[in-house]
Chain A
Amino acid sequence: MTFDDVLDLLAAVGLLLGAFLSLAAGVGLVRFPDALSRLHAATKPQILGLIFIVAAIALMSRSWSTLLALAPILVFQMLTAPISAHMVGRAGYRTGNFNADILHVDELDEVIERATRDSADGAAAPSGGASGERTDPSGAVPL
C-alpha cells in the first residue's frame, strides 16, 4: 500500500463520514420534537460534514492551490453558521416555536417574567435588550 493509497482511503473515509453526518442531520430534522431542537441537528453535524468533505477534496487533489481555494468555504461557513443559527434561534424563542413542556429549566423566561413584573410595578425594567424587546406587544421580531 503506497502513500497515495493511504490518502485515497482517508479521502473515502472523510467522504463517507460527511455523508453520514448529513444523513444524521436529516434524521434529527425529522425526529426532534421542536424547532429549536431541530436547529441543533441542522447546525453542528452539517458543519463537521462540510469539513470532512472539504478534507476529502483536498486529499484527493493534493495541491496547495486547491487547499487555498477551499479555505474560504470553511471560513465563511464557520463564521456565518453560528450567526444564522442565532438569528433563527432568537426568532424561534421569541415566537414561541418550542415545546415549553420539555424544557428542564428556562432561565430566560424567569428574567422576562421578572422584568415584566418590575415594569408592571412602575419601576423601570432592569435591563434593556432581551427582556424589554420580547414584551413588545406588536408581536413582530424586532431586529
Chain B
Amino acid sequence: MTSILYIAATILFVGAGLLALYRIVRGPSILDRLIASDVMLTTLMLVIGADMAINGHTRSIPVMLVLSAIATFATVSVTRYVSKQDRAITGVERQPQDPLAKGDS
C-alpha cells in the first residue's frame, strides 16, 4: 500500500512542479514568475513533508520550518522592485474608456 501511495504522491507532486516550472519559463511578467516560484517552493515543502509522512521519520521538520519562514521574504523583497516596465508584454493595457471594464454598479 505504501508503494501505491508513494507512486501516486510522486505523480501529483511532479505534475505540480512541472506546471509551476512552465509558468516560470513562460512568464509573461516577473510577477507571474514570482508567483510560480512561490508555488514551486511550497510544493518542495509539501514533498519534504510527504517524504516524512511516508517514510515515517521527523528529521526534516526544521527544513520545512525554515522554508515556511523564508518563503515570504523572497516574495516581499522582489515585489519591492517590480515596476511598470515589468508589465506583461502580451498583457492587455488598462483602458479607462473600455465599457466592459466599467461594470454596472
> Which residues of A are interface residues toward B (Cβ below 8 A)?
11-12, 14-16, 18-20, 22-23, 25-27, 29-30, 34-35, 38-39, 42, 46, 49-50, 53-54, 56-57, 59-61, 66, 69-70, 72-73, 76-77, 80-81, 83-84, 87-88, 90-92, 94-101, 103-107, 109, 113, 139-141, 143
Cα separation A48 to B86 with both chains bound (whole Å)? 31
- Residues of B within 8 Å of A96, CB to CB, are 84, 87, 91, 93-94
- Residues of B within 8 Å of A81, CB to CB, are 72
Chain B 51-95 residues near chain A, CB threshold 8 A:
52-54, 56, 58, 61, 64-65, 68-69, 71-72, 75-76, 79-80, 82-88, 91-95
> Which residues of B are interface residues toward A (Cβ below 8 A)?
1, 5, 8-9, 12-13, 15-20, 22-23, 29, 31-32, 34-36, 38-39, 42-43, 45-46, 49-50, 52-54, 56, 58, 61, 64-65, 68-69, 71-72, 75-76, 79-80, 82-88, 91-96, 98, 100-105
**Chain A residue with minimal CB distance to B104?**
A105
Cα separation A15 to B96 with both chains bound (whole Å)? 47
- Residues of A within 8 Å of B72, CB to CB, are 80-81, 83-84
With contact pairs A19-B46, A29-B20, A29-B36 given, residues A105 and B105 touching in the complex (Cβ less than 8 Å): yes
Distance in angstroms from B76 CB to nearest chain A CB is 5
- Residues of B within 8 Å of A90, CB to CB, are 79
- Residues of B within 8 Å of A26, CB to CB, are 15-20, 39, 43
Cα separation A81 to B76 with both chains bound (whole Å)? 10
Cα separation A73 to B54 with both chains bound (whole Å)? 19
- Residues of A within 8 Å of B17, CB to CB, are 26
Contact yes or no, A95 B16, CB < 8 A: no
Contact pick for A35, options B19, B32, B42, B96, CB 8 Å: B32
Contact pick for A20, options B12, B69, B83, B98, CB 8 Å: B12
